[in-house]
Amino acid sequence: MAFQTLLTSLENGILTITINRPDKLNALNKSVIEELSLAIDDVITNGEIKCAIITGAGPKAFVAGADITEFLSLDKSGGALLAKKGQAMLFDKIEHSPKPIVAAVNGFALGGGCELAMCCHFRLASENAKFGQPEVNLGLIPGYGGTQRLTQLVGKGKAMELMMTANVIEAKEAKQLGLVNHVTDAGTLLEHTKEILQVIMTKGPNAIAKVIAAVNAYYDYSKNGFDEEIRLFGECFGTDEMKEGVTAFLEKRKADFSRK
């Protein structure tokens, strides 16, 4: 699939999606969001893709925010539509992907960039990465799920402080707060991310998808997370994947889920 704003590379089941607007610090605009949505559709439906990484081109930015030049013509209803469309088209789609999608944050992740990283299933960051939701500087608030996901990840008090002060934090503090899982040097960021995904790919893909669904149910007020866990746990039984995993355990060998 050819893109204007993205670079993609599939290797050993891992699709690396690179947002390629380094002259604009990879800022999100309409084209980037639309193309990312198409790329995520491919992740979900393409059997050759087992998981994905989202990162940014160049040494400075993951995504340094939204392209605010697109905001000037919007009124109240237009702004609400922009946020609603973006959440449905991309951010929610990433969060609920049955295949792992991980952010490799290689620089600035501000505004929409921080929101993009947060909707991924987890995050790794380079030492030069910086995170923030500075929308109040523009008289705005986060619109792509930032008020919800930042609160889930770092807690209400710290999320309130970060969003109201517009302060930007470095990778080390982001890790201390639980916003990112690992911090590495820029040169090994993608390698380290791929190593974690390679471990995940040895596990049952159906079980991985159900872990994602069950964890997401905790944050869905229309669902009871414990009930969803019971339902999803039950659905695992009787599958070829479960039979292979249990049989391998009893036979004291490593499970081979490729033969399920």
DSSP assignment of 111-151:
THHHHHHHHSSEEEEETT-EEE--GGGGT----SSHHHHHH
14-23, 78-87, 173-182, 203-212: least confident range: 78-87
- Percent of the chain with pLDDT strictly greater than 70: 99
Q: Is the pLDDT of residue 260 over 70?
A: no
Q: Is the pLDDT of residue 11 over 90?
A: yes
Cα gap 186→105, rounded to integer Å: 9
User: Model-level pTM?
Assistant: 0.95
SS3 category, 202? coil
For the chain, the first-to-last Cα distance in angstroms comes to 29
By annotation, the residues acting in catalysis are 115, 135
Average pLDDT score over residue span 14-27: 96
60-69, 100-109, 203-212, 229-238: least confident range: 60-69
Burial zone of 157 (CB within 10 Å; 0-12 exposed, 13-18 middle, 19+ buried): exposed
DSSP assignment of 64-125:
--B-GGGTTT--HHHHHHHHHHHIIIIIHHHHT-SS-EEEEE-SEEETHHHHHHHHSSEEEE
Maximum pairwise Cα distance, the chain? 65
Which tokens belong to 135?
């929308």
Contact 128, 186 (CB under 8 A): yes
- Which domains does the chain carry? 6-200 (3.90.226.10), 205-259 (1.10.12)
What's the pLDDT at 2?
85
- Percent of the chain with pLDDT strictly greater than 90: 92
Binned at pLDDT 50, 70 and 90, residue 259 comes out as: low
Q: What is the pLDDT of residues 44-92, one digit of tens each?
A: 999 999 999 999 999 999 999 988 887 888 899 999 999 999 999 999 9
Average pLDDT value for the chain: 95
Binned at pLDDT 50, 70 and 90, residue 195 comes out as: very high
Q: Is the pLDDT of residue 166 over 90?
A: yes
What's the pLDDT at 70?
79
Q: What is the pLDDT of residues 100-144, one digit of tens each?
A: 999 999 999 999 999 999 999 999 999 999 999 999 999 999 999
C-alpha dist (Å) from residue 42 to 17, 19, 48, 124, 195:
11, 16, 10, 23, 22
